[in-house]
Each structure stands twice: as C-alpha cells, then as structure tokens.
Amino acid sequence: MAATVEEQMVVKAIREECPWESLPKRLQSSLHTKEDWHRRIVDYCIRKRLQWNTCFARRVCKEGEYYEEMMRYLRRNLALYPYHLADYICRVSRISPFRYYCDILFEAMKNEQPYDSIPNFTAADALRLTGVGRNEFIDIMNKCRSKKLMWKLNKSIAKELLPTQPVDFPIDPWWGVCLVNFTIEEFKKLSEEETATIDKICKEEANSYVLFDPKVIDGLYKRGLVYFDVPVYPDDRFKVSRLEGFVSNKDQSYEDPIEELLYAVFVVSSANATVAELAATLQADLYQLQAAASFACRLGWAVKLLDADSLLEETPTFPGNILSDDEEGSNASINSEKSGQQLLSVDAGPRKISGTAHVGLVVDANVTSYLMMGSLSPGLKSHAVTLYEAGKLGDSCIAELCSDLASLEGKKFEGVLEEFANHAFSLRCFLECLQAGGVSTSGNIDKAGEAKLPTSSVTTHLTKINIEDTVEDCPDELSQRNLSDLNGNDGNMLMSSATLSESGEGMVRNDVEDSGTTQLDGSTDIDVVKTQRKYKVDILRCESLASLPPATLERLFLRDYDIIVSMVPLPSSSVLPGPSGPIHFGPPSYSSMTPWMKLVLYTAGNCGPLSAIFMKGQRFRLLPEPLAGCEKALIWSWDNSVVGGLGGKFEGNLVKGNLLLHCLNSMLKQSAVLVQPLSMNDLNASGNLITVDIPLPLKSDDQSIASVIAQTNLPQDQVLNLSSVLKDLSSKFELSTLGYLRLLRLHRHTESESHLENGSYQWVPLSLELGIPLFSPKLCERICERVVASCILQKEDLAEHYDVMQTVRRRLRELCGEYQATGPVAKLFNKRGSSKDLPRVLINNISGRWNPVNDPLAPNEHERLKLAGRQRCRTEVVGFDGTFIRSYALAPENDEAATKPISEEQSSTHDGKPDTEDADSKDVVLPGVNLIFDGAELHPFDISACLQARQPLWLIAEASAASSTVI
C-alpha cells in the first residue's frame, strides 16, 4: 500500500511539474538523487507518449534525447508507431513508419520470438506497410534457420529478406501530405515534377492528397521524402467499419494510452457523434482520442464522414473550448441534444421514440466464436473478428452480415457445428425482423437493410394508430375508396401508405414534426396507417460493454440507443441498462438472472413445480422428504454454475435421485441451490423432461393464446390444460415483452390411477427468460412471428413494456428483500438461540407424511391444493423432523414489525418512477432462509433434522449474509 501511495505522489508531482527542490522529503528520500527524479519524469512522459514541448520532460532533457529514448523504448516493447509525434520523429529524426516496422520485425526475428509476440495493432500496421504477415514472417524465419551456422553467427541476414520499400496501401483524398527535412543531396536528385510538387506543398495552406499527382507523391513517399498526416478534428465524425487486416496476436504488455483508447473508441463510436462528443462520453483526453481515431482511419477501420467540398476548404482550427459546457458545445449534434434532454429527465418514465429507432443487440463472446468457424462461412470471419475485437458491428455492416448468414441456408451440419449454425440462423432471423421494424415484409429487404413496404394495397401487419396526418390534394374518389376499405374491414385491414404514393392521386404526410388533421369529405379524424418506423441496428458484445466504466456506459446508451435487446442467457458479468436508460427487451435486473425469477413467476401465478431452496453453506446428512426417493431432480444454482447445454441454454442440471445428496453437498459449498424433484411419471420414456417453449409477447386474449398453442405443434392429446394455464398466468403476470416461457409437463396425482388418461398430466411454468434465445432457430422464428403479430416495435411508445418491467423489478425486489438474510422472514425464523425453542412457539396445523413423489395419496393432489388455497398466516413454516412433514404457524405476538408484509410498504411507495435499487448492483442476493414452494405458495422450510451436526440456522444465515456481501 505504501508503494502505491508513493507512486501516486510521484505521478501527481510530475503532472504539477514540481521541481526537485519542492518535492516532499518523503519522495526525495525514496528517489535518492535529482538525476533519479529526472529519470522518473522522462519515463513517465515516454509511457504516456507525450509531446516534448508540452510535457515536463522539456525541463529536464533535450528534445532529441527525449525522442531517441522514446524510440528505444518503443522498439524494445515492439510498440505501435507514434503517429501523433511524426512532426519530429518522421520529419526531423527521419524514422519513417516503414523503417520503424522493419526494425520491429528484425528485432523479433533476431531474438527468434514467435510472430504472436508482436502486439495486435503493431502487427496489423506492420502488415499494412510492409506486407509481412504471419505467413511471410514464418517463411523468412524458415529461410534463415535453413542456413544453420550462418544464421547463428550473423542474425543480420534476416534484414536482407525484409522488404526494402513499403507496399501500396489505400490513401484517402483528405489525408495530408507533409515534407521531411531534406538533405542537399536528396534535393539535387529531385525531378522537375517533384520539385514543383514540393514547392506546392510548402506554399499551399491546404495539403490534401487529392490536390497532388498520386504518382509523384507515391515516388516521394517510397523514398522517405514525404509522410502522410491523417488529421482528425474535434468536430469530425466517423463510423467504424469492419476490421479488415486485423491480426489476432497478444495484447500489449506495455502502457500506451492511445492504443488502449482504441477499443473504447470502437464501442462508443457513432456516425452522429463528433470526436469531441466521444471524448466527453469516455471522459478521455481529446488530443489522445484524436490520435486514436486517426490511427483507426489509417488502417481503414474507421471511415471519416465529410462533404465532398470539404477537401478543398481551409483546414479547420482547433477550438479552445471544445469540451466546455456552453450551448454550442453541448448541442453539436442532434443526438447529443436528444441525449441531453433525456439525461435531464431520467425520472420522467419511459423514453419516447420518434423517427428512426436505434437498437443495440447485445450478444456475448460465444456468438463471435460461432461465427468464426470457417466451416460455416469464410465471409463471416471478418464480421466475427470485428465484433470480438472492436466489440461492435455498426448498422452499415448488418445487411452484409445477413447476406453472409444467408449463405448457410440449405447446408447440413452435424454435431457441434449444428449448434454453431443454429446461432447463425437465429441471429439472421432476428436481425431481419429488427431491421424490418417488426413488420412482415415477406423477406423483402433492400440493399440498405431497410424493410420495404408490401406491394399490395392492403396489409394486415401494420399497426393501427390514431395519428393526425394531412392528406393533400386527395380526390373524393380516393377518399371514398379509402373509407370503404377501412369500414369494410372493421379497421383491421388498413390502406398502405405505399399504395397512396404509387397511385399518384394523393399523398399521406406522416411527418412527426409537422402533422395536421386528416379530413376526408369533412369527416372527423380517422385511423390511417402511419409510415412504419425505421430501425437501425448495432450488434454489441457484452464483454466490451462491461469493460467501460458505468458512467461512460450510461452516457453511451442515452446518446446512441432508443432500444436495447439482449440475447439469453447473458453472462453474469454483463451490464444491463438502468430503468432510466433505453427501453430494454431483456433481463430487467441482475436478480432476474438468478432463480429468484422462477420464484417470482411461481408466486405470482400460484402455480409451478414443487421446489426446495437451500441456503449456501449447509451440509446434509439426509434428504428432506420432498426430495427423498425422487427419480431425478432439476438443480439450479444462484451463481449459474449449473446452467448447462451447448450454446448456453438455460437448462439447469438434471441429476439422478441417488446422486442428489452428493450433488447438493458439493454445490452448497459455493452457492445457494434450488431443487425441483421429479417422479418417474414426470419424465418421458428416455428419462428426460417434457417441456414446451411459449414465445412472447403474449396477450391474455383467447385468439393470441390459441395461435401460440397452434405454433407448438403439439398433438391434441398433449395440449391438456395448456390454454387455461397460459390464460391464467398471462392475466396475473404480464407477458408483453420479448422472450419465452418454458412450461413443464408434470404427472397429475389423482385418487384413481388405474391408467393414465389425458387428465393425468398438467402443464406448469418452469422458467421465464426475457430476451432473444439464439440457441434455437425455431423458437427465435416464433418469437419474431409474435413480434410481427403484436406490432410491439411499431407502437407510438413502449410505455406498456416499461410498466411491465417496472412491475417485475418491484416483485423481484420485494421477494429478495423478504427472504434474504437481512429480510424480516429470515430474521424471525433464524433468531439467535431460538432453534431449540422453535417447536414450542409453533402452532401445529397439520400432521402427516407429505411426499408427492413417493406417496401421492397421502395427502392426494386435491387435498394438497385445498390446503395450499386456504387462508394462511404469512409466517407459516413447513418443517421436516426426519419422519414427517408438518405445517406450522409462528405466533406473531412480539414480532409484528418483523412480520409486516414488505409488499404493502413498497407497493404504496411505487408511483411509476424507475426502480434503481437492484438495477445498479451486480451483487448476488442469496436466500437467507430455506424455502419450499408447494405448488401454490412459498414458505420457510425447517430442515434442521437433515443437517449434519444439527447446525444452528442463525449461524448459517449469518455466514450466508457475510458471503453475499463479499461477492
């Protein structure tokens, strides 16, 4: 710690340009001499790649010495060429980028280092200038080693095999041409054209490449007489394209702030944001950000957006107050203005979307590895590298990505490759759905990636929205025809705006900013088709987002995106937009990515499989009765360590009953566990679960549910109570969002079980996953069909979805608050020292053996559900004493405050404002009490008799609470 504090003091002193005499005595004693202090100053400035004339090093060493030392440092670390310092290094020192990278390659060859030892960006830039990539490097090394003794004695033979002139590379017209310091001999060898070109470069204020003869400039460059400047100014805009030529080697082990900024620039870049706005978003140094953007443009990874005439205009100057808070700086673009308004009104509720909607699709690194597989499509590799390294695929690349993904259609894959291909199929399906704005286009996607309107005059897939539009010069004939079409179809089949424009007889104006009232023959307002909202989609890698500081990420979301859509499952380390950020179709909070979400679903719908929840840190000597003797059990952990399945499917672990005790004891060391026991009749002939996935959004109306059931393609004899379960669940738990609901078929216990009939089985909810499942193409396609049918992406606003997510957040917060280690139920149940007296204060409600797995007739299903449906005390406890399961009720005489329902307090304060309590924290909230869900309600579960050494519950609860805070 002392060393860290001392280093911070040194850095602060260097930034404040503190001379040796003014240093604190503590630093002087640790640095020993004034020369050591000067050495530390120079080292710091070199690591930060600072200009000599603007840093503290100018006071302690000469300019030439400083840059010579810097180049030695860069060569030693195989670092990137410092283009932002080219005014001295290239012009005065005459060290061109080509010469520098030849020295870098020779250094690696001389030391017989592998090509992978050259950092990513250095290798990519060296490949661009020298043409020496991995294969060429290996070939040169093989030629050198083939000479055996000569290679051992003379390493310089490798330099003879390196190129002597830079290869041709693309040069943009706006790049600047700069001169080096000529010698007299070099000047005498110039031709007349070259002399005239040099005079023009010296005299003209603008030195853009487009103003000169390319052949002359190319000849001067290859002789090292000119170099290229890539100017990036604070008000410039650029977009990131595919990372062609990227070399996937190791990351740099040295400090380079410009190179480190590149990854962040790739993620936060936007065609609507200026470089100054990007610096404000990242809270980065503007000069360094300009240097990073300039390097990205050099390699063709970023494209500068500019007008054709701007190349001939005078070069803009650097504004001194570019990062000030004045009106001009804060309103540099439309998007920044919109973001500013949203930042000022984060508590105003859901964000409104007007015009084009900008969507960010969040995926994990696994998707990039699936796309990287050469067996799928070689064209996808470039997209995969860009997504993995840059962390983002911009909207301009999406149409090409979908085209490459389409090349997989019709191919057959087996084994692991089939899972990889499934992700590719699902990704393409959902991207096309998003680009079409959730409107059916019969697969018609134009080259720009925007959905075309149907060519027919009437479409049933457009949303009917009441808007105030103006119809100009609309003849009576057309008006009557439109009205008859609308009235004849009860408003369900609406006139396409494309038909009106094609007919030439009228035109519907749908300008959001200038709207009027639709008047047809003096009639009042009618429902007409609003021009479908356009969608622009970016793909974001969640690991790259997680590497950004939370404040930067929030600014990025507010600035660039209206909607965020997440794939499921997401890794626990991923980041989620806050309630005040963009509309999020995905997990509403970090708690929803744990088994808490299952308990919220079960308790809200009063329906679900028998489930037991056990606290972390326990060790069983025997299984409690609901789990004893089960055929198999489904296990879920709070840390997602048992989320199985290739492609990250949410499947849990299905273990045999005779291994359940061992598995529980192993897993409870690491995390809390949810266990769902299953009997032989709950499984199919292969011993597996029988599940069905219901695509969302889902409405509670019969028509919506009937269409969803039809999509499942289940035989009529297996539909059973599916319709009633979906209708009842959707009425209690809003399902108007993107995702899927997984239902589990369980054996229904009846008094007479002579044979299994249709009524012997029932469907119950197993899990609810919010987001897009890319591991299943069929499920993803059905979700897209539900998106089209519900027109959820074409609604005027998404307030309904916002309210649903707020409700889910509130329910999760209430359930976690009630049953966590510091919650009221856990405090009451786990009272210190009360474990011995617990049976004495319990009121015996029922007594008997209850094991629906082994002995379903005692009590039978009807009696158990009748018992579950009665009026119960809030602190009722289900206990197992080793022989019987009994239900008890705690006496609430002295614990009224502790047993007061938490939901009443929090629901009364819920007024529609965003809930940020659990949205900003990634800490895993573990249960602080053992629980059991009996199929209708959730209760504390007393299993003291099953634990080894009869561990006190209060001790386990305290350990669980302490471990959860450490996490």
Phi, psi at 21, each rounded to 5°? -65, -25
Following DSSP, what letter does each residue of 363-417 receive, concatenated?
Answer: E-HHHHHHHH-TTT-TTHHHHHHIIIIISEE-HHHHHHHHHHHHTTTT----THH
Total H helices, total E strands in the chain: 38, 28
Q: Where are the alpha helices (DSSP H) in 204-256?
A: 214-222
Which residues of the chain, if any, have pLDDT below 50? Answer: 1-2, 308-348, 443-529, 644-648, 751-758, 833-873, 893-919, 966-967
> What count of other Cβ atoms lies within 10 Å of the Cβ of residue 78?
24
67-77 tens-digit pLDDT: 999 999 999 98
Task: Report cis status (omega within 30 of 0) of the bond before 319.
Answer: no
What pLDDT is stored for residue 591 in this prediction? 86
Q: How many C-beta neighbours within 10 Å does residue 844 have?
A: 11
The domains of the chain, with CATH numbers, are 590-750+759-819 (3.30.470), 824-892+921-964 (no CATH)
For residue 230, the model assigns a pLDDT of 93
- CA-to-CA dists, residue 715 to 685, 695, 710, angstroms: 17, 18, 10
Helix (H, G, I), strand (E, B) or coil at 828: helix
Tokens 């998003």 belong to which residue?
A: 434
pLDDT number for residue 717: 65
CB 362 within 8 A of CB 566: yes
pTM more than 0.75: yes
| Residue 473, pLDDT score | 36
| pLDDT for the residue numbered 523 | 35
CA-closest candidate to residue 619, choices 676, 674, 675, 669: 669
DSSP strand pairing (673-678 vs 632-637): antiparallel
Say if strands 357-363 and 563-568 run parallel, antiparallel, or are unpaired. Answer: parallel
- First CA to last CA distance, the chain: 23
Q: How far apart are CA 871 and CA 827, in angstroms?
A: 23
Alpha-carbon span 52 to 94, nearest angstrom: 17
- Cα(188)–Cα(248) distance, integer angstroms: 44
Closest CA to 670 of 624, 623, 615, 627: 615
pLDDT tens for each residue of 834-884: 444 444 344 444 444 444 444 443 334 444 444 444 444 456 777 776 677
| Beta strand spans in 569-616 (E) | 583-585, 611-614
Residue 944's nearest CA partner among 894, 891, 877, 898 is 877
pLDDT given at position 857:
38
Per-residue pLDDT reduced to its tens digit, 773-788: 988 889 999 999 888 8
pLDDT at position 70 is 93
- Candidates 386, 385, 382, 379; CA nearest to 405 is 379
pLDDT of residue 963: 57
Task: Reduce the DSSP state of residue 839 to 3 states and report it.
Answer: helix
Helices (H), 641-756: 660-667, 702-712, 716-719, 722-732
* Tokens of residue 190, six digits: 């110039």
Amino acid present at 94: R
**Residue 548 class from Cβ within 10 Å (0-12 exposed, 13-18 middle, 19+ buried)?**
buried
User: Following CA atoms 525, 529, 530, 535 in sequence, which dihedral angle do they give, to the nearest 10 degrees?
Assistant: 160
Please report, as a single letter, which amino acid is at residue 678: L
- The pLDDT, as a whole number, for residue 548 is 87
Q: Residue 360: which of 251, 450, 269 has the closest Cα?
A: 269
